[in-house]
Amino acid sequence: MIYLDNSATTQPHPQVIEAVKRAMDNYYGNPSSLHSMGIEAENVLKQARQVVAQALEVKPSEVFFTSGGTESNNTALKGVAFQFQQRGKHIITTQVEHPCVYDVCKQLEEFGFSVTYLPVDEDGRVSPDELVRAIRPDTILVSVMHVNNELGTIQPIDQIGKLLKQHPKIVFHVDAVQSFGKLPIRMHEWGIDLLSLSAHKFYGPRGIGVLAKREGLQIQPLLTGGGQEAGLRSGTENIPGIAGMAKAIRLAEEDRDEETKRLYDQLQRLRQGIEQLPDCVVNTPKTGTAPHIMNFSVPGAKAEVLLHALEERGFLVSTKSACSSKTGEPSRILLAAGMGHERAVSAVRVSLGRNNQTQDIEQFLLALKECINYIRPLMKK
């Protein structure tokens, strides 16, 4: 099987697996314990926090460990909403956010908050100027993802952050789950107050992530209890997961530029091949995209039929984000970008990773052509 679903999750790097095993074998003490085993575990925690801080160019005290992107996003949005609700109850986000932001905003509406869901253009990109026009006196939070998980569109985070510096009381949150390890992230330079990461998107273990929080910003914790993570995220720290994530970050930072270029080259070849197929329409923009995501449609075909036909030929892809792929509904992201129902229900996402080689792309294009020829009689005329 050739795995082409790296936006859903990635295969942990062998060195990450070894780091997790080593931590489980040797550093099983509770980092809150005062004895030597606890101190050793605490040192692993401190070292990992330093690794994350260096990668994000922030202070170690601004790094908080969570169980992953969903918890980080929930903590950021709900933490800001409940901390500053006396100041205002207006939140701005986009129509193309991941469910763990979009659905949190829907939930906050049930708590009496008002949410503006900004539209996007045909590339799935939000307008910074339109975002600024949506700001109200009671706006307390703006949340915009860095890279869209379905289209691969890069949002103008640096421009948005620059504009929001004129509104210092508004907290700026960025979901960087799909971009970290592939694109540069300048948290403080871009004016980001809260940033979410998830280790399993960059060859780390599942169940571990990061919420980076600007120093001085106070938000309500989602989990309370033992007061770990400076009181922001109670619960005994997942030392093996944290150690594995730190290793994954080191590896990602070592060869990011080279790997990003390699992925962009593969993505370009993939685009060229798909565009040559008469029944395919590429949905991912030609410019301003991440190096690993390609979304396309075969109008008239059901995405699930194409997905399983490709799987029978040895290729694993997805229809949309893994979190919403089983709903049976057309992609909310593609509909928001104005692509229409037929393209949205027939969309397939290919996402590349470190294990994919050029020959994988060539073989996939041949298999895709075979699959389309196979299902063409079943397609709507």
Active site residues: 323
For residues 346-381, b (16+ Cβ closer than 10 Å) or e, as one string?
bbbbbbbbbebeeebbeebbebbbebbeebeeeeee
Measure the CA–CA gap between 143 and 108, rounded to whole angstroms. 13
Q: Where are the alpha helices (DSSP H) in the chain?
A: 14-26, 36-56, 69-83, 99-110, 128-133, 157-164, 239-254, 256-275, 303-312, 332-336, 340-345, 358-375
Strands 90-94 vs 114-118: parallel, antiparallel or unpaired: parallel
Both tokens of 71, joined, read: 């918890």
What burial class does residue 291 get, using C-beta atoms within 10 Å of its C-beta: 0-12 exposed, 13-18 middle, 19+ buried? buried
DSSP letters for 109-175: HHTT-EEEEE---TTS---HHHHHHT--TTEEEEE--SB-TTT-BBP-HHHHHHHHTT-TTSEEEEE
| CA dist list (Å): 285 to 62, 264, 309 | 34, 13, 26
Q: Are 6 and 351 in contact (CB under 8 A)?
A: yes
Give the full edge-to-edge strand order of the sheet including 293-297: 281-282, 293-297, 347-351
Residue type for position 84: F
Cα separation, 134 vs 377, whole angstroms: 47
